[in-house]
Structure formats: C-alpha cells, structure tokens
Structure 1
C-alpha cells in the first residue's frame, strides 16, 4: 500500500487530533507536526487554513466512518444484531482508552452554533449516515417513515452513548443503548 501523500497525512493527523482533543484545542502547528509535514504545506493544500482543513476532515471522516459502519451493517441482522454493533463500538472505544470517538460528533458539538459552514458539512454527513441506516432498516419491510425514525433512534443513541461512555470511561452506556435500539426496532416490527 502506498504511503499517504502530504495532503492525506494532514487530513489523517487532523482527524485524529480532533477525535482526541477537539477542534478548538488543535492548532495548525500541532497538525503540521503530527502530519510530519512542513507548516507551509497546510496553506498550500488548504488555502483557507483551519476552516478548510475542518471541512475536508468532516468529509474524509464521514466517508471513512460510513464505510466502516456500512461493512458491519452488511453482516448484521437489523432486528437482532444491533446490540452486537453497539458492543463492538464499546470494545473499540475501550481499546483506545476512551480517547477517540466520532470526530464528526466532536466537531458538530463545537461548531453547531458558531460556524454555519462546518455545521452544514457535519449535517450532510449525518444525513448520509441516516440514509444508509434507513436503507438498512428497509430490510424489515417497514415504511420509509419508520425506517427514518429507527435510523434517527440508532444514530442519536450511538452518538449520545459515545459521549457518556467517554465521560464515564465505561462501555455501559453503549451496551444499554444497543439494547434500547433493539427494543425500538422490535416494537416497530411488531406494530408494522
């Protein structure tokens, strides 16, 4: 596999720093050092500075996480497999010493009221993920509205559980959220 080019290294380093410490705490010099890239290369590849890097990180991470979760969904039954998905997320979070979770969530929390451009980029990623989840729930023979609702329940449960799990340094919130989502799915199937 080829080594990532300078632009990719900057994006990967920025995404990791954002996941670990958030966007406001991450400076351009820190990004440059973490990417092992000359400082001037940041403005060469991202003329708009930190906001431009952040837009690209949101897009980059949105695709990366979407593909990662999509692969897991493809192997999981939408009725009974949900707790395992949440357990897997907890195992991964625990293996990273609760230091990393969803960088999109982190950025969205930090900019939702202060930077419309970044808020819209994060919203676009979340909508993409919701669409994928809704399609996945479509296997259950539910209507579009029910699938969208279950996608919202799943994503909000997952993202909220990440916050609590990181804060409590425990996978308990993720495990409980997985059981809660499964109950919501079962209720929708039984009602429909």
Structure 2
C-alpha cells in the first residue's frame, strides 16, 4: 500500500481491496488495520462509526475510480462498435491477470448485503446510479440519443457485472468476450 496516501485513504483503500477479495462479511476491522498499516485507534479516529462507515466510503471511492475506466478504455476507438468489444477484451485480460478476483467490489457487495445491510445497499445504489448517469452522458456524447444511451448503459452494466461473475466462477474470459461482442451487435450502425 502506498506510503504517500493519508491514513484515511490507506484505510479506505484497504477496505476496498479486502471487500474485492473476500466480501464485506468476511472482512474484519483487524484485517483492514493490518493491510492499511494503521493502528486500530486510527480506524476509529477517522471512521468513528466503524466497519460500515469504512465500507461505505470504500464503495464510493472504488465506484468513482471504476467508472473512469470507461473513457480510458473506449476513447482510443472512434467507432463505438470497436470501443465496446475492446473494453471487454481489456477487462477479460485484467481479470485473468489478477487471478480472477473481483474487479470492483460495488456490485458484489451490493448482492452480498442487499437484505442484511440496508445502509450499505443504499450506498451501492447511489454508486450504481452515478454509473448510469455518467455512462449515459458518455454514450450520448459518443452519438447515441439520450434514451438509447440510457438503455445501452443499463444493458452494458448489467452484462458486464454478470460476465464478471461468470468469468470468475468459470475461470474463463469467454463470458466477457461474448458480452462485448453481443453488445456491439446492439449498436445500430446509424446511431454511432
């Protein structure tokens, strides 16, 4: 973990990484403290509400970072029909190289805690809502009309997160490649 980060940032980053690897329920504040190289007192100094507060901030930070990958992966391609599968190929490579761990904890944690931690479910919904807004705006700027951009965003995010689960479970990049190719077919040639 980067020594240049503030203690608060190290704690938040450690929580995100642990949730990405093992989920919310299996993550303990002791593990967060150890990974962040921060004494337990620092955790409660920066996050007086404890584990749930750390998790909420970690989800927001991870979600904000995760959505920045969209333009990073797609902007080099002028045509969305090339950009979409390229982004899925890159995601597949990254997931395989990372040893099949979750790429982002937000949706995984949302599924894990949807009924048991309503406050964290609300944070995950807030993050996903921001993804939908940002992706819709992005695809509108890339040439889709607003309604089509919104539908495509929902399909893309749903397919991506489902493909992550299948790829992780099967230890295969095939689901991510298939989704990228299939979504490309949904882009009407007159809209890009």
Tell me the TM-score normalised to structure 1 length. Answer: 0.92
Q: 1:44 deviation in Å?
A: 0.7
Moved more, 138-147 or 86-95: 138-147
1:120 corresponds to: 122
Cα RMSD, aligned residues only? 1.9
Give deviations 1:96-139, integer Å, cap 9, x for gaps.
Answer: 01023221011111111222221121111111111222122214
Measure the CA separation in 2 of the matches of 1:65 and 1:114: 25
Range with greater deviation from structure 2 (131-140 or 149-158)? 131-140
Describe how 1:1-192 pairs up with structure 2 within 5 A: 3-76=4-77, 77-139=79-141, 141-186=143-188, 189-190=189-190
Aligned-pair distance for 1:146?
1.2
Q: What are the Cα deviations for residues 29-83 of structure 1, in whole angstroms up to 9, with x where unaligned?
A: 0111111110111111101101100110111111111223332233333232211
User: In structure 2, do the counterparts of structure 1 residues 141 and 48 end up closer, same or farther at CA, with 3 Å as the change threshold?
Assistant: same
Q: Which structure 2 segments of 5+ residues have no match?
A: none
Aligned residue for 1:162, secondary structure, equals helix
Per-residue CA shift, 1:144-189, capped at 9, x if unaligned?
Answer: 2111000001111100000000000110000001011111123xx5
Residues 181, 57 of structure 1: alpha-carbon distance in 2 compared, 3 angstrom cutoff? same
Would the aligned equivalents of 1:78 and 1:139 in 2 still touch at CA under 8 Å?
Answer: no
Moved over 3 A (4+): 139-142, 189-192
Larger mean Cα displacement after TM superposition, 60-69 or 47-56: 60-69
Q: Secondary structure of the equivalent of 2:81?
A: coil
Partners of 1:20 and 1:100 within 8 A in 2: yes
TM-score, normalising length: structure 2: 0.92
